[in-house]
Amino acid sequence: MNVVLLGAPGAGKGTLASQMCQAYGLRHISTGDMLRAHMREATALGLQARAYVDAGKLVPDALIIEMVRERLNEPDCQKGCLLDGFPRTAAQAEALGAIAKIDMVLYIDVAVEALVKRISGRRVCGKCGTVYHTSWHDREECAKCGEPLSIREDDKPETVLRRIEVYNQNTEPLIGYYREKGLLKTVDGSGTPEEVFEAVKTLVEKRV
Ligand code: AP5
């Protein structure tokens, strides 16, 4: 099963992806995580991507599509993937259709005020990548590895608003694109992570 997670910045895609990958044995393909790894390692792609990511803009389609194509061709992806943050443009959606068969697109629907609240409290472990929120984790270290937590460079308030704008312009139209293809399922993302995952489980298990 190949699943696409669609949702605005801060909707909870990464959080839901961890739950789903654990439950269904899917491979988590997050283009945001992949780009951040390239930036950390200062690869050629990372150096090209940094200015876009830090400013809250989209990295050019050609770079992203090639990165995802290579990743999806790797053997561990053959049993099923969960795409988080890809596609984000019409060109990426077309390219994905030619690379892989998509079985389901889950759109996580969250109001803008909640997105901003979620992003402004997000803290991330620089070592193991675990994501926290200050509302339920008020320590400054990772509960798993003890490393200090940090705020993502693109989570600054002015960049967050830009990312939401970029999402509305480029990615929101994909909701209609996948609805027309009969692949879209909408999930109310306003509840707790556990409630959102329960709703998704019902949808996935109905389909299987
Ligand atoms: P990316 O990393 O994909 O960022 P994003 O889509 O903006 O999404 P986020 O990671 O901000 O949020 P999320 O939905 O995963 O929420 P999370 O689970 O962390 O992309 C970053 C950048 O990379 C882009 O801006 C772009 O520059 C570039 N890029 C990436 N892909 C690209 C592509 N395809 N094309 C071009 N450029 C690309 O949750 C957020 C917070 O809320 C956390 O603190 C979490 O604990 C909390 N939370 C989660 N769920 C809930 C809940 N149900 N209730 C309460 N709190 C919750």
pTM, rounded to two decimals: 0.95
Average pLDDT over residues 101-115: 96
Residue 203 lies in a domain: yes
Residue 64 lies in a domain: no
Q: Which atom of ligand 1 is nearest to the CA of 31?
A: 31
CATH number at residue 125: 3.40.50.300
The pLDDT of residue 158 is 87
- Which range marks the domain in which residue 132 is found? 2-26+79-207
Q: Does the structure show a pLDDT above 70 at 200?
A: yes
Residue 121 has, within 13 A of its CA and on its CB side, a CA count of 15
State the average pLDDT for the chain: 95
CA 155 to centroid of ligand 1, rounded, Å: 10
Residue 102 lies in a domain: yes
Residue 66 lies in a domain: no
- Count H helices and E strands in the chain, helices first: 9, 8
Q: In whole angstroms, what is the distance from residue 63 CA to residue 145 CA?
A: 33
Residue 101 lies in a domain: yes
pLDDT (tens digit, 9 = 90+) per residue, 25-76?
999 999 999 999 999 999 999 999 999 999 999 999 999 999 999 999 999 9
Does ligand 1 lie within 6 Å of residue 7's CB atom?
yes
Does ligand 1 lie within 6 Å of residue 59's CB atom?
yes
- The catalytic residues are 13, 88, 122, 152, 163
Residue 44 lies in a domain: no
* Whole-number Cα distances in Å, 145 to 125, 129, 177: 8, 10, 41
Does ligand 1 lie within 6 Å of residue 14's CB atom?
yes
Number of domains present in the structure of the chain: 1
Average pLDDT over residues 194-205: 94
Residue 57 lies in a domain: no
Residue 63 lies in a domain: no
CA 15 to centroid of ligand 1, rounded, Å: 9
Q: Which atom of ligand 1 is nearest to the CA of 134?
A: 44
Q: In whole angstroms, what is the distance from residue 100 CA to residue 123 CA?
A: 33
Does ligand 1 lie within 6 Å of residue 193's CB atom?
yes
